[in-house]
Amino acid sequence: MSQLSLERGLAAFRQELDAPAAAFFSSCVHCGLCAQACPFYVETGDPKYTPILKPEPLRLVWEREYTLWGRLKALLGLSEHVTDELLARWEELLYDSCTMCGRCSMVCPVGIDLQYLIRKTREGMVASGHVPEGLVGAASRAVRTGSPMGLQWKTLQVQITHVEKSTGLSVPIDREGADYMALLSSMEVINFPEYLGAITKIFAHAGISWTLSTDCFEATNAGVQIGSKDIAAELVQRVVDAAMKLGVKKVISPECGHAYTAIRWEGPNLIGRPYPFKVYHIIEVLEELRGAGRLRTEGKETDRLSMHDPCNLARKGGVIQQQRNLMELVSENFVDLKEHGRYQWCCGAGGGVSSNERAGELRMAAFRRKKAQIEEVAPERMVTMCATCRTQLEEGIEELNMDIPVVGLTEMIADHLVENGQPA
Average pLDDT of the chain?
A: 95
Return the CATH number at 92.
1.10.1060
Clarify whether residues 184 and 119 are in a common domain: no
Q: How far is CA 69 from CA 28, 65, 112, 162, in A?
A: 16, 10, 21, 65
End-to-end CA distance of the chain: 58
- What is the domain extent for residue 75? 3-131
Is residue 188 domain-shared with residue 115, that is, in the same domain?
A: no
Q: What is the mean pLDDT of residues 392-417?
A: 96
Do 234 and 313 reside in the same domain of the chain? no
345 and 103 Cβ atoms separated by less than 8 Å = yes
- Split at pLDDT 50, 70, 90, the class of 3 is confident
Contacts of 328 (CB under 8 A, 6+ apart): 334
How do strand 422-423 and strand 418-419 relate by DSSP bridges?
A: antiparallel
CATH (domain of 245): 3.40.50.1860
Question: Do 178 and 217 reside in the same domain of the chain?
Answer: yes
Report angle CA 184, 185, 191 to the nearest 5 degrees: 110
| 72-81, 93-102, 274-283, 346-355, range with the lowest pLDDT | 72-81
Q: Does the pLDDT of residue 422 top 50, yes or no?
A: no
Rounded distance between C-alpha atoms, residue 397 and residue 415, angstroms: 24
Asked if 34 and 74 sit in the same domain, the reply is yes
Q: How many domains does the chain have?
A: 3
Is residue 78 domain-shared with residue 174, that is, in the same domain? no
CATH number at residue 408: 3.40.50
Give the pLDDT confidence of 87-136 residue by residue, as tens digits.
999 999 999 999 999 999 999 999 999 999 999 999 999 999 999 999 99
Q: Determine the pLDDT at residue 128.
A: 95
Cα separation, 114 vs 6, whole angstroms: 24
pLDDT recorded at residue 419: 74
Q: Determine the pLDDT at residue 77.
A: 84
The 10s digit of each residue's pLDDT in 245-272 is: 999 999 999 999 889 999 999 999 999 9
Residue 421 pLDDT > 50 = no
- Residue 2 pLDDT level (bands cut at 50, 70, 90): low
Is the pLDDT score of 159 beyond 80? yes
Q: Picking from 48-57, 70-79, 310-319, 347-356, which range would have the lowest pLDDT averaged per residue?
A: 70-79
49 and 118 in one domain? yes
Chain-centre distance for alpha carbon 137:
18
Helix (H) or strand (E) holding 74: helix 68-75
Residue 1's pLDDT band (boundaries 50, 70, 90)?
A: low
Whole-angstrom distance, CA of residue 222 vs CA of residue 141: 9
Q: Are residues 160 and 267 in the same domain?
A: yes
Banded model confidence at residue 27, pLDDT cuts 50, 70, 90 = very high
Per-residue burial over 238-248, b = 16 or more CB atoms within 10 Å of its CB, e = otherwise: bbbebbeebeb
Mean pLDDT of 348-355: 94
pLDDT confidence tier of residue 4, bands split at 50, 70 and 90:
confident
b/e burial code for range 308-341 (CB count within 10 A of at least 16 → b): bbbbbbbbbbebbebbbebbebbbeebeebeebb
Shared-domain flag, residues 173 and 205: yes
Q: What is the pLDDT of residues 297-313, one digit of tens each?
A: 999 999 999 999 999 99
Task: Look at residues 232, 260, 290 and tell me which one is the last residue of a structural domain.
Answer: 290
**How many percent of the chain have pLDDT more than 90?**
92
- Of 254, 269, 290, at which residue does a domain stop? 290
pLDDT of residue 423: 45
